[in-house]
Amino acid sequence: MRFGHFDDKNREYVITTPKTPYPWINYLGTESFFGLVSHLGGGYCFYRDARLRRLTRYRYNNVPVDNGGRYYYVVDGSDYWSPTFMPVKRPLDRFECRHGLGYTRITGERNGVTAEVLYFVPLGETCEVHQVTLKNQSSQKKTLTLFSFVEFCLWNAWDDMTNFQRNFSTGEVEIEGSTIYHKTEYRERRNHFAFFHVNQPLLGFDTDRETFLGTYNGFGEPEVVAQGKPRNSVASGWHPIGSHAITVELEPGAEKQLVFVLGYVENPKEEKWERPGVINKRRAHQLIERFSTPEAVARAFGKLQEHWQGLLSSYQVKSPDEKLDRMVNIWNQYQCMVTFNMSRSASYFESGIGRGMGFRDSNQDLLGFVHLVPERARERILDIAATQCPDGSAYHQYQPLTKRGNHDIGSGFNDDPLWLILGVAAYIKETGDVAILDENVPFDNDPNDTATLLEHCKRSFDHVLNNLGPHGLPLIGRADWNDCLNLNCFSETPDESYQTTQNRTGRTAESVFIAGMFVHIGPEYAALCERKGLAEEAARARAEVAKMEKVVLEHGWDGAWFLRAYDFFGNKVGSNECEDGKIFIEPQGFCVMAGIGVKTGEAVKALDSVKERLDTRYGIVLQNPAYKEYHVELGEISSYPPGYKENAGIFCHNNPWVAIAETVVGRPERAFEYYKKIAPAYLEEISEIHRLEPYVYAQMIAGKDAVRHGEAKNSWLTGTAAWNFVAVSQYLLGVRPEWDGLVVKPCLPKEFGEFTVERRCRGATYVIHVKNSGGTTPSLKVDGKPIPGHVVPYQPAGSRVVVECTT
């Protein structure tokens, strides 16, 4: 069942009922100011850090699920309603929510009045603009009162929801004309404040929540709105809010636009005050001035659209499959940008107060983002590398505001270091910017201990070699990619974290997955060395990779698939010998991507085992059979009920590894089948089962052992976005930047038909027509001339090259 439809021309998803199976959300903002907005106007916004600079309050895990946002109330005679349906929930004659790239437009209609709210964050600004358009569709004159509403968060979202003994006394506001200023803690150490403005004279305002709602009322029944009269309340402690009341008179057919600006301002310390106790509002006035008319809003909105048009034009496909096209051209790239910006901080499943930027996560996010804004990827790489420790290990996470490694979680996830090499390689392939390898980057943010980025990559590579176990496989440490496979943890105590608790010391538990990573990523390190003329170091690296490949085949092969690990006692994990957890997806994907066993037959066998034992109608489960009970020697993975999360859920992050692996062994049908199974646009028709947004990937879909097989959780912030974009754009459609040119090597079934990819890379544009007959060794012509192999040499910036590819 569908709850809306795609509008590809406008690059929007159009939701046509408020009653989607779960809130379907969108993101506003591109660089420093961000908002989350659901199809019901729910959500919140923040400046840079979702925990420390939150402008508006949002209560997670609330009842009903999506309660609180930037709300508007229309009072029409004795009736009042919300165009976003929430919070008043009065039935609407028409409802529509259009989630677009960086904006959301929600329209409600009731009793002859249409109210549309357009939410967006203008480029380069630290504010949200809400443009409200009211239209009288009836044949009578209407005198309406419009109430706005936001509830301010007292900045630090964690403190805001826990420290009430202090917080109920700190709230402060100022009101000036049509602007409400939120200045809690500005009197002391904060040099920032928020404001909420409308470009109209007011009938009145309210800034105290209890006065506005009534002590025992919810957002859906504010006393002030019910009575149609603002009370001009001035918050003092308790709960500061911003609410404007405006009278709007509309003749039949007439409409009126109002521009609301919800902004964030920082003042230099010496310029904080206009006079004692009164904020210096100069910067706020300037910001307000920039959006004082609907024309200014239209210009800013136009710029935002152009911005996205420009970004997305670096990879566009035209194929007979409209679902694939809309994923590749619009939504998958968009999600890659959002994950790059947010890492795993703020979504409807991540509270914005927990995780910082993941070392592993951010490097992987880069893979799907680097073609969009390479300069920002460069900056990110240097930030990430600066949190690496001198021995090559890495902080598992770092904080976005300080860019420092997070001591609470620490290091010891032994896959982390290798992801840095993958990120750096992807960046240089995209840009040709080899000079980044010479950048001086600190270890652990210590300015007195620095080395080149290349040296950081060497430490990553050597960290694996310095930490090998009894079979010569890499030690797993706390965990590898699978955060929940905790082989040294042995946790028996409720409430302790599997990821941070004191581990047993022992150098036995080994990861075949990290071995696969090493074989896949090690050659990238060798190639980096070659770029710098370090032939000997490159040869050393290649020799180590070859050695590891042998070790995997000797100690990491279980007969019909790759083993997952050896545990603390040296027992096999992910082996046919095990009762549960006989086979895991991760090593099958990564070892085959690395090319292990491709010539000798193990690769195909492993992938056939995946098909036989892990594949389901909704995607490939992480392992099988699911653990039926808790295994202290395996950790968190066995803590989940069967079918959820790492215990045999469909982890969408590593499904594309298998799709890519299928292209490595030349099986386009299987690769495409796996791609389609979890790509959201293909799941639109089963939205009642999948439940989450049909335009973005979720981290997990419940596996075959789960009661709710097929149901997704944790949409938006997941490495799934980047890896699926890599799979479809680089391996299925087959266009990927390599060291010396653009590889064109599609792998799609014959029935898929012909298609054209337009790829911008290093300033040149490649128009690639693929005559697809399902083959996997294509022949290429560049500007009409045949070339050997499948690498199109990079062309000078500014050129436009036509590539014909016949498979």
By CB under 6 A, name the binding residues for ligand BGC: 344, 358, 360-361, 481-484, 646
Residues 646, 647, 649, 651, Cα dihedral to 10°? 20
528, 486, 527, 526: which is closest to 506 by C-alpha?
486
Shortest Å, Cβ 136 to ligand BGC: 49
Amino acid occupying residue 737: P
Rounded distance between C-alpha atoms, residue 621 and residue 310, angstroms = 37
- Which are the contacts of 471, defined by CB distance < 8 A and separation ≥ 6? 510, 551, 554, 555, 556, 566
Shortest Å, Cβ 639 to ligand BGC: 12
Q: Which is nearer to ligand BGC, 102 or 516 (CB)?
A: 516
Q: Which is nearer to ligand BGC, 300 or 484 (CB)?
A: 484
Q: Which is nearer to ligand BGC, 394 or 528 (CB)?
A: 394
Provide the pairing of β-strand 315-318 with 255-266: unpaired
Q: Is 415 a catalytic residue?
A: no
Q: Which is nearer to ligand BGC, 397 or 467 (CB)?
A: 397
Shortest Å, Cβ 361 to ligand BGC: 5
303 vs 73, 118, 307, CA distance in Å?
A: 29, 15, 6
Active-site pick, 483, 558, 615, 705: 483
- Measured from each CB, the residue nearest to ligand BGC is 483
Q: Which is nearer to ligand BGC, 267 or 654 (CB)?
A: 654
List the alpha helices (DSSP H) in 66-201.
157-160, 164-167
Rounded distance between C-alpha atoms, residue 235 and residue 238, angstroms = 7
Rounded distance between C-alpha atoms, residue 536 and residue 37, angstroms = 53
598, 628, 796, 605: which is closest to 705 by C-alpha?
628
Shortest Å, Cβ 344 to ligand BGC: 5
Rounded distance between C-alpha atoms, residue 79 and residue 112, angstroms = 12
461 vs 420, 430, 524, 541, 604, CA distance in Å?
A: 10, 22, 10, 8, 28
How many C-beta atoms surround the C-beta of residue 214 within 10 A?
Answer: 14
Q: Which is nearer to ligand BGC, 12 or 646 (CB)?
A: 646
What's the CA angle centered on 417, arms 415 and 419, to 5 degrees?
Answer: 75
Rounded distance between C-alpha atoms, residue 793 and residue 807, angstroms = 19
Q: Which is nearer to ligand BGC, 207 or 699 (CB)?
A: 699
Shortest Å, Cβ 484 to ligand BGC: 5
Rounded distance between C-alpha atoms, residue 582 and residue 483, angstroms = 19
Provide the pairing of β-strand 142-155 with 54-56: antiparallel
Structure-token pair, residue 527: 């190639």
Enumerate the β-bridge partners of residue 743.
Answer: 736, 791
Show the beta-strand stretches assigned E in 458-600: 510-511, 565-566, 572-573, 583-584
Enumerate the β-bridge partners of residue 624.
Answer: 583
Q: Which is nearer to ligand BGC, 485 or 541 (CB)?
A: 485
494, 60, 76, 370: which is closest to 248 by C-alpha?
76
Q: Which is nearer to ligand BGC, 228 or 635 (CB)?
A: 635
- Residue 15, SS3 per DSSP: strand
Shortest Å, Cβ 722 to ligand BGC: 12
Structure-token pair, residue 513: 């997955």
> Can you tell me which residue has the tokens 């930027």?
357
Q: Which is nearer to ligand BGC, 116 or 483 (CB)?
A: 483
- Which are the contacts of 753, defined by CB distance < 8 A and separation ≥ 6? 319, 320, 321, 772
Exposed (0-12), middle (13-18) or buried (19+): which is 340, by Cβ within 10 Å? Answer: buried
Residues recognised as catalytic:
483
